[in-house]
Amino acid sequence: MFNALIMNKDEDSSAAQAEIKQISEEDLPSGDVTVAVEYSTVNYKDGLCLSPKGGGLVRNYPHIPGIDYAGTVETSSDARYAPGDKVVLTGWRVGEAHWGGYAQKASAKADWLVPLPDGLSTQQAMAVGTAGFTAMLAVMALEDHGLTPGHGPVLVTGAAGGVGSVATAILAHLGYEVAAVTGRPETGDYLKSLGASTIVPREELNETTKRPLESETWAGCVDAVGGEMLARVLGQMKYGCSVAAVGLAGGAGLPATVIPFLLRGVNLLGIDSVMQPYDNRVRAWNRIATDLPMDKLEAMVQPATLSDLPKLGADILQGQVKGRVVVDVNA
């Protein structure tokens, strides 16, 4: 028997409740690999899945949330993994459509797993999680489209959040001048400790303008906000430069024109972490192991246990979680 945080609904209730219960391996869904989970984390999607209505992501109850986890293989029917192997899982709708990592054991398809890179612990992998994995995918996409240090400042919106924090640390480590956008002035010192050169108050960018183009300012952008801020940033990009869109904290709409694309050759790059192909997953995790400074990663981390998750889920939906949460599922 082992512990799991389970979301369930009473017959007389339409709202799901979280409860830590003991279950057995026989309760787990079928899979190629059984993993002894060591750590998980809290992402925005986790907050939705932990909410009473499941955020529109959870279709069936009882359900174990947790879209990320890292641990050690216990059993495997797939030749790619053997007992004792360290693995990490992000995406593939695990924690949403499939049971996730808020338990001491999990069952997964072998195709969903990635070997943990040398030099990276399971705890560090969950300090990275989907947020950091997405941040690295965004940086790689910008580099693939020509971003190099020395061409000008790189903007990171929503910089104090999980994706933004890791993106800021990676970009600064790689030698970029990072301008970090935040609506929380108290996070300024934190962002500078991650390597941000400039703190940009959110109010400077979250209003639309009638001008389709403004001064060429940014050599690249990792955008976690979307909405009006993304529209504004597109008009401030330097010629031929790119924005990697990773989130929609400010809304799913895009009140923009096509002028930045037509007159400045600006690129808008969509970043998806859920269905990312295996080879690019391995590439991103290997880059994380070499290009994310671990001392900066540790500065982002807030420790937690399974019992902390309901409150943390509500907090992240309100934008009240700074940096990264690492959940010790065995504590």
The class level of CATH for 130-270 reads alpha beta
Q: What is the mean pLDDT of residues 279-303?
A: 94
Quick one: tokens of 177? Answer: 């001048």
Q: What pairing do the DSSP bridges indicate for beta strands 218-223 and 237-245?
A: parallel
The widest CA-to-CA distance across the chain, in whole angstroms, is: 62
Instruction: Select 2-116+298-328's CATH number: 3.90.180.10, 3.30.565.10, 3.40.50.2000, 3.40.50.720.
Output: 3.90.180.10
Alpha helices in 8-117, H assignment, sequence order: 44-50
User: What confidence tier does 287 reach under pLDDT thresholds 50, 70, 90?
Assistant: very high
Residue ranges of the domains in the chain? Answer: 2-116+298-328, 130-270
Alpha helices in the chain, H assignment, sequence order: 44-50, 122-144, 162-173, 188-194, 227-234, 259-263, 278-291, 294-300, 309-317
Transcribe 201-253 into DSSP letters: EGGGTSS--S-S-----EEEEEES--HHHHHHHHTTEEEEEEEEE---TT-S-
Neighbours of 82 (CB within 10 A): 11
Give the integer Cα–Cα distance in Å for 84 and 107: 15
Q: Which amino acid is it at 238?
A: K
135 burial class (0-12, 13-18, 19+ CB within 10 angstroms)?
Answer: buried
Task: For 43-94, write each residue's pLDDT tens digit.
Answer: 999 999 999 999 999 989 999 999 999 999 999 999 999 999 999 999 999 9
Are 170 and 143 in contact by the 8 Å Cβ rule? The answer is: no
Q: What is the pTM of this model?
A: 0.93
Q: What is the mean pLDDT of residues 192-199?
A: 97
Task: For 202-235, write each residue's pLDDT tens digit.
Answer: 999 987 788 999 999 999 999 999 999 999 999 9
